[in-house]
Structure 1
Amino acid sequence: MGGMPAPDAAQREAAHNLEVMKRLREVEQAIDARAPESDIEPSLDQIRAVMDLLGDPQRSYPVIHLTGTNGKTSTTRIIDSLLREMGLKTGRFTSPHLHSMRERIALSGVPISPERFIAAYDEVLPFVELVDAQSAEAGRPRMNYFQMLVAIAYAAFADAPVDVAIVEVGLGGAWDATNVADGQVAVVTPVSLDHTRMLGDTVEAIADEKSGIIKAGAVAVIGVQEPEVTEIMAARAEAVGARIALEGNDFGLLTREVAVGGQQISVRGLSGDYEDLLLPLHGAHQAHNTVLAIVAVEAFLGGGEQRLEPDIVRAGIAAVASPGRLEIVRRSPTVLVDAAHNPAGALALRAALEDSFNFARIIGVVAILKDKDATEMLEILEPVLDHVVVSRTTSPRAMRPDELGELAVDIFGEDRVTVVQDLPDALDTAAGLADEGGVGGGVLATGSVTTAAEVRMLLGATEV
């Protein structure tokens, strides 16, 4: 008999789904209960021990490894899109997430399913608990939130199995938990000062830590850097026996023009040119991220000797999305969200606003975490924002609106600043101000990944 499934089948499926969601919540709570990802110690002993006990799943597929200060997640997503267009099964690991920790682990471009996430968790947990017990005996902390997710990701990629994993570091490079894998290609996006508390106070110290993902026999693909950063990367490549390819030297962006819905770019790769690619992301920084992504794929597939099929590159680039990165989440008034959370991110955001958007007025909704350089970010954004509504996200690390408001008044003047205690009201206030002078006003919500995530959710955009 065709037609509708028997009610008991439908009921069974509903019961199963409920069971899965309940279990997923328990697993997520258990992972959340671990020390935060900012709690790091310079050691790979624990994650190495877990991988060893699992049979080193991270060695069962090739890895493209990415570090840098800004642009890592977008570049990772562009590489993923290109490789999928070529018919490869991909694993993608990025951080932080916008809405759910499962977003960090994607299989073939889609966040890992609850079932697969739970299965990978159950697979690694006994070994994690074993290593945690050994750590406790030695007076060391148990594995943190991030290390746990790395273990789950590497196991899930092996189980899928994937043809290639594209892995973004969490923080730094050498001592990042992801670095138990050895990238066949190591990509370094632009390096600037960001997590200085963890990584040292100079660009050189940060670059040195990040250069730790460059391994013997790899190809290191290096984005535009300060000269001292390039020197450190080149020295590391030479020391370990890796090939190095430098943007602006060995490859680069040939042309870019703003186009409807993004930009049209032409790229000089290691093995040929790729012309008139339509990239559906805004800003020169995304054009540069795309250049790095194309070259990383060239390096991965043919050691950079073989030109990629132009039509495949064109299709892979056209299919790219990077949620929360200068993303339009609503029209009338237009609301943009951007995850900029440091001065370099704010500069890229400002340049993109000036070059890609044509608003009569832009009203900012700004919420920043207290360990970030709020003053410098506000100074950078001041020329492009007509008015700023300062607020806070639900993050416990959020700076108080009154405090942020005082900083903003010093930069914008009192008449251009409104302080609103919670984000939903701040968004309403900003939309009202954007509409005030007639058509053509826009709202930009920025200042942290959490700001972008919460505004997306408030406006019903939760697709990743």
Structure 2
Amino acid sequence: MNTYTEAISWIHSRLKHGINLGLARMEWLLEKMGNPEKELKVIHVAGTNGKGSTVTFLRSILNEAGYEVGTFTSPYIETFNERISINGNPVSDADLVKLVRIVKPLTEELEAGELGPPTEFEIITAMAMYYFANIRSVDFTILEVGLGGRFDSTNTVHPLMTIITNIGMDHINILGDTVEKIAFEKAGIIKEGVPLFTGAKQQEAHSVIRAEAEKKHAEVYQLGIDFSVENHESVPGGEKFTYLSRETQYENMKLSLLGRHQTENAAIAVASLMYMKENGLLKLSEKEIRAGLEKAYWPGRMEVLQQRPVVILDGAHNTEGLKAFAATMNNRYEGKNIKMIFAALEDKDLSHMLPLLKTMNAEVYFTQFDFPRAASASKLKEIGKMEDASVEEDWRALLRRMVNELDVEDVLAVTGSLYFISEAKQFLVNLLEEI
């Protein structure tokens, strides 16, 4: 294993083992690696949507306070390396090769045993934990759950803090077909005596989460009860709001990320870090919180690539994400001529997602991309029952035509699967530079 290309190729070769939830393989790997997870000060983040943005707010605020912060997130938007980052900077190609050299022989040993082959996600998780503990030491590590929580490979840590951003109907074939079942899987990250901060809104989810927290003697701090977003206002270039808790009121907080839902993710980040401050786990000022929130950047989430005409990328990859996308578009671009390009995976809840496209006054263009679970453009139109929608199989040709035809007051939104957004972003950036 001498080159970055070889390392990435080997990692991706593990995709053939699919999704195989469980902790036994991960625990075996970590033990062989010297249990690096025990050296980390972890904030563990689960949820249906908003995990990546919340991780970004946490990281950005901690960076402003002078802390070194490692983050593990998925999927990637621009480069694979960004899944393992320090202070927002992706792991270097050389360090990634070094990590693969460490984990590859262990993977082969594990695969030959009774536990069977580890998945790609398990391998990357182990690499991230080893990296933050032994190669690039950090003050705090923020781990984003990959799927669910209870049996996710990140759930081998004992964190300082757990966060569940929200609960929505996603991955129902794996996590369950009700809010209660999904909430139970997410609540699996709650640890004995470790406080939980949550943005879950449904009463069914609250009941499950609180029941699990009580079993673990974990305090629960809930958005809308223990802390809240007040006086929200969409402003040019972002959002403005007041953060309110029993002890604190911060007025005119500013975000560069778009959408009311981002103010809620930001509030969860602030509340959890304030708790850590109050319990002597870190030092933090109001000035650092404000600067961290305003500087936070997360690609592919209501990301404005161009202002005139407006071109937006957003990974609205499930029902909850599409609701937030629609609300933000209707709030910010009411009355505008909106053209929307949409692609999705066929195992998503398309029957509930696609009707949400009708809530926006937009010209809809369905497309498809080269990915094993991607839905065809024609299937999206059929399920969505949108006679006026257009179908274009070649997303590159569609983007090129749309960009060239945009009027200065138009809005072009490219949305749907995060995997599609990842493919489309650099192509779209290059197109805009050509004009």
Q: What's the CA shift for 1:339?
A: 0.3
Task: Indicate the residue corresponding to 1:74 in structure 2.
Answer: 53
Contact 2:399 2:428 in 1 (8 A): no
Task: Indicate the residue corresponding to 2:389 in structure 1.
Answer: 417
Task: Indicate the residue corresponding to 1:443 in structure 2.
Answer: 412
- C-alpha change, 1:73 and 1:38, in structure 2 (3 Å) is farther
Q: Please, which of 1, 20, 31 is the counterpart of residue 40 of structure 1?
A: 20
The letter for the 2-side match of 1:144 is T
- C-alpha change, 1:451 and 1:304, in structure 2 (3 Å) is farther
Task: Indicate the residue corresponding to 1:255 in structure 2.
Answer: 231
The letter for the 2-side match of 1:103 is E
Task: Indicate the residue corresponding to 2:90 in structure 1.
Answer: 111
The answer to whether 1:144 aligns with 2:119 is yes
Q: Please, which of 330, 340, 349 is the counterpart of residue 364 of structure 1?
A: 340
Secondary structure, counterpart of 2:412 in structure 1: strand
Task: Indicate the residue corresponding to 1:16 in structure 2.
Answer: none
- C-alpha change, 1:352 and 1:131, in structure 2 (3 Å) is same
Task: Indicate the residue corresponding to 2:372 in structure 1.
Answer: 396
Q: What's the CA shift for 1:318?
A: 1.1
Structure whose alpha-carbon radius of gyration is higher? 1
CA distance in 1, matches of 2:309, 2:320: 27
Contact 2:150 2:187 in 1 (8 A): yes
- Scaled by the length of structure 1, what TM-score is found? 0.88
The answer to whether 1:274 aligns with 2:250 is yes
Q: What's the CA shift for 1:37?
A: 7.6
Secondary structure, counterpart of 1:371 in structure 2: coil
CA distance in 2, matches of 1:273, 1:82: 17
The answer to whether 1:283 aligns with 2:259 is yes
Q: What's the CA shift for 1:148?
A: 0.4
Residue pairs, 1:33-432, within 5 angstroms? 33-35=13-15, 38-41=18-21, 43-134=22-113, 138=114, 140-159=115-134, 160-269=136-245, 271-303=247-279, 308-358=284-334, 360-408=336-384, 410-411=385-386, 413=387, 416-431=388-403
CA distance in 2, matches of 1:309, 1:95: 30
CA distance in 2, matches of 1:250, 1:102: 37
Q: Structure 2: where are the runs of 5+ without partners?
A: none
- C-alpha change, 1:389 and 1:290, in structure 2 (3 Å) is same
CA distance in 2, matches of 1:132, 1:448: 31
Contact 1:390 1:426 in 2 (8 A): no
CA distance in 1, matches of 2:16, 2:271: 34
Q: Structure 1: where are the runs of 5+ without partners?
A: 1-19
Secondary structure, counterpart of 1:181 in structure 2: coil
Secondary structure, counterpart of 1:399 in structure 2: coil
State the Cα deviation string for residues 67-114 of structure 1 (Å, max 9, x = none).
010111111111110111111110101111113321111112211111
Q: What's the CA shift for 1:336?
A: 0.6
Secondary structure, counterpart of 1:142 in structure 2: coil
Aligned residues: 430
Q: What's the CA shift for 1:253?
A: 0.7
Secondary structure, counterpart of 2:40 in structure 1: coil
Contact 1:173 1:213 in 2 (8 A): yes
State the Cα deviation string for residues 16-60 of structure 1 (Å, max 9, x = none).
xxxx9x71110111010013585213x211110111121211111
Aligned-pair Cα RMSD in Å: 2.1
Contact 2:213 2:219 in 1 (8 A): yes
Q: What's the CA shift for 1:128?
A: 2.6
Q: What's the CA shift for 1:358?
A: 4.9
Runs of 4+ in 1 over 4 A off after TM superposition: 304-308
The answer to whether 1:26 aligns with 2:33 is no
CA distance in 1, matches of 2:421, 2:361: 17
- Scaled by the length of structure 2, what TM-score is found? 0.94
State the Cα deviation string for residues 303-352 of structure 1 (Å, max 9, x = none).
39999411111111111001000111234432111101111111100111
Q: What's the CA shift for 1:272?
A: 1.3
CA distance in 2, matches of 1:421, 1:255: 43
Higher mean alpha-carbon deviation, 350-359 vs 141-150, is at 350-359
Contact 1:251 1:268 in 2 (8 A): yes
CA distance in 1, matches of 2:276, 2:243: 17
- C-alpha change, 1:269 and 1:393, in structure 2 (3 Å) is farther
Task: Indicate the residue corresponding to 1:454 in structure 2.
Answer: 423
Task: Indicate the residue corresponding to 1:15 in structure 2.
Answer: none
Higher mean alpha-carbon deviation, 308-317 vs 120-129, is at 120-129
Secondary structure, counterpart of 2:180 in structure 1: helix
Secondary structure, counterpart of 2:71 in structure 1: strand
- C-alpha change, 1:59 and 1:37, in structure 2 (3 Å) is farther
Contact 1:82 1:317 in 2 (8 A): yes
The letter for the 1-side match of 2:5 is R
Contact 2:7 2:96 in 1 (8 A): no
- C-alpha change, 1:36 and 1:461, in structure 2 (3 Å) is farther
Contact 1:89 1:164 in 2 (8 A): yes
- C-alpha change, 1:461 and 1:230, in structure 2 (3 Å) is farther
CA distance in 2, matches of 1:266, 1:49: 46
Secondary structure, counterpart of 1:266 in structure 2: strand
- C-alpha change, 1:306 and 1:89, in structure 2 (3 Å) is closer
- C-alpha change, 1:37 and 1:457, in structure 2 (3 Å) is farther
Contact 1:271 1:305 in 2 (8 A): no
Contact 2:199 2:268 in 1 (8 A): yes
State the Cα deviation string for residues 352-398 of structure 1 (Å, max 9, x = none).
11122356210110111111122322211213142111111221221
